[in-house]
Structure 1
Amino acid sequence: MATDTLTPTRPARRPVGTWFRQTGWRHLVGIAMLIFSSFPLLYVLSAALNPGGTLLTANGLFQTVSIDSFVRLFSLPQQPFAAWFVNSLVIGLATAVGTVFLGALAAYSFSRMRFTGRRFGLLSLLLVQMFPQLLAFVAIFLLMTTIADVFPAIGLNTQIGLIMVYLGGALGVNTYLMYGFFNTVPASIDEAAKIDGAGHARIFFTIILRLVAPILAVVGLLSFIATMNDFVLASVILVDPAKQTLAVGLYQFVSQETATNWSVFAAGAVLAAVLPMALFLALQRYIVGGLTAGSVK
């Protein structure tokens, strides 16, 4: 007795024109954007591996490959790259942790507590961020100079003072960003914890912080990257070369008219980008959740 066998049928192939109108053009746009965004990275890497010391000789990508620029980067006593890297790492991590902690405390207060001036405080935080930081540089310099006369440990030319300036400047926008995410956490969770006898501190540290982990990762990463890339504030407050950050220190390689070395500068830029890129890849899943999804599963 013959039995019918079911053979899988292949879906009909779409014509090339239909495929291009539906999905093909997206691939072309993606490839074009990938090439556009990767070319500067390849150019900087080529300049770092080029011992010529200029950007003009880097036009031919990877024609000359050498690690002399990386070796020289760590062998110049007048430009202590290792000290700059450690300074940037310490300042960036301290600023990121402080920004996340203070912003989370403020966001929790605005989201869960009802007090006089709450709405005015939120609007004030938002309005203050509309003014560029360039308007405050003179005031910050004079303030840090005055503080140095009374408390030299946190005044001008101190890393602690720079961290405090960063914390004050980043508190507003990060608080407002966290406030919107905190509102996605149902208030019923707080009420259930209060019935069991938990106070605001216990609710905040043991419950809320775990639920809002994605936004904490986003704020911490953005704060760390902004601190690592900042030049103006760091150059104004930090005067001693041994206390400067990477952004300020690397500028010395290209700021001198008679001793410009773009190859060493590019090598330092490549090494400076490794840590932020590693943090971004490590926190990628939290970043996606913090920017696109809520915290309640």
Structure 2
Amino acid sequence: MSTTRSITTRGGETFEKRPFRFGRWLAETGWRHLVGVVLILFCLFPLAYVLSASLNPAGTLTGSNALFSNIGVGAYERLFSDPSQPFASWFGNTMLVASITAVATVFLGALAAYSFSRMRFTGRRFGLMSIVLIQMFPQLLAVVAIFLLMNAISDWFPAIGINTHIGLIMVYMGGALGVNTYLMYGFFNTVPKDIDEAAKIDGAGHARIFFTIILRLVAPILAVVGLLSFITTTNEFVVSSIVLIDPEKQTLAVGLYKLVSNPNYADWGAFSAGAIIAALPVVILFLFLQKYIVGGLTAGAVK
């Protein structure tokens, strides 16, 4: 007796539907699901371990291998109640610096990318090549120079010198504008220039074309650059540790390091709790920008 049956589609095509067999499904597509589940578990385990450590009442990593064996919120209470560790100030400073840096980087990078993509001027090619060459050297190599420069600026303009958030934002922007400009420049080139020419015929200038037309078409790359800039600024440690000296002005990366820098007393529970709280804004921002990021994967094909 045959176990297959014929199915006719709306288009008139007829095909035979075979019965489900686990072995055939596993060989054809099931192994992909298994690989996906393994990768998801591999990525989620560090997060689960940190969350378990943040809920450990002992405040140490001892016993954290048994996930969620002891649960308490003492670590979170210590973060906000201990006057020696102003976690609220660290969190506020980080969000302020990261938000301003992300917005300013996206705006200035978009202006520069639009200029390189749409305008022809002397030194354009040299400027593009300079951006690529400068980004070959990591910002870590310039730490000493950054400190000396910020220290010298403090003598003349204390408001943007060392131990100021404005000075740190300017350093971050200087390090990120090059690569972000080149990244957006490639995306701007996918937008047809016929749109610009049509707008110019209607009497629009470069400013109106940029703000009312181009920015809407390149929203995916703006979301990606903004997200990457926000994440990088939030996690950055070396530059912020040398620019910001006052504990009340320091960022989360520097402040959380202090919780575990003393080998005699390292509060790993509070450190893990702070890491969990610090990750929440990044997750929220990613979920908010997800539709633009996903749209950017196919934007180049339809334009």
TM-score normalised according to structure 2 size: 0.93
Cα distance, 1:119 vs structure 2: 1.4
Aligned partner of 1:107 among 101, 104, 113: 113
Question: Where does 1:44-123 land on structure 2 (aligned, <5 Å)?
Answer: 44-123=50-129
User: Which secondary structure does the structure 2 equivalent of 1:58 belong to?
Assistant: coil
For structure 1, which segment, 9-18 or 253-262, has the greater mean C-alpha deviation from structure 2 after superposition? 9-18
Q: Give the direction of change, closer, same or farther, for the CA distance of 1:281–1:10 in structure 2 (3 Å limit).
A: farther
Report the residue type matching 1:269 in the other structure: A
Report the residue type matching 1:150 in the other structure: W
Q: 1:136-164 CA distances to partner (integer Å, 9 max, x unpaired)?
A: 11111111011001000000110000000
Cα distance in 1 between the residues matched to 2:221 and 2:191:
12
User: Which secondary structure does the structure 2 equivalent of 1:202 belong to?
Assistant: helix
Aligned partner of 1:277 among 283, 289, 296: 283
Aligned partner of 1:220 among 226, 229, 240: 226
1:202 paired with 2:208, answer yes
Report the residue type matching 1:248 in the other structure: V
Q: Give the direction of change, closer, same or farther, for the CA distance of 1:293–1:7 in structure 2 (3 Å limit).
A: closer
Cα distance in 2 between the residues matched to 1:32 and 1:259:
36
Question: Where does 1:278-293 land on structure 2 (aligned, <5 Å)?
Answer: 278-293=284-299
Gaps of 5+ in 1: 1-5
Aligned length: 292
Cα distance in 1 between the residues matched to 2:297 and 2:71:
40
1:234 paired with 2:240, answer yes
Cα distance in 2 between the residues matched to 1:186 and 1:152:
46
Cα distance, 1:123 vs structure 2: 1.3
Cα distance in 2 between the residues matched to 1:29 and 1:114:
49
User: Which secondary structure does the structure 2 equivalent of 1:45 belong to?
Assistant: helix
**Structure 2 match to 1:32:** 38
Aligned partner of 2:184 among 178, 189, 205: 178
Cα distance, 1:196 vs structure 2: 1.2
Report the residue type matching 1:44 in the other structure: V
Q: Give the direction of change, closer, same or farther, for the CA distance of 1:139–1:25 in structure 2 (3 Å limit).
A: same
Gaps of 5+ in 2: 1-5, 9-14
TM-score normalised according to structure 1 size: 0.95
1:161 paired with 2:170, answer no
| Cα root mean square deviation, aligned | 1.6
For structure 1, which segment, 92-101 or 51-60, has the greater mean C-alpha deviation from structure 2 after superposition? 51-60
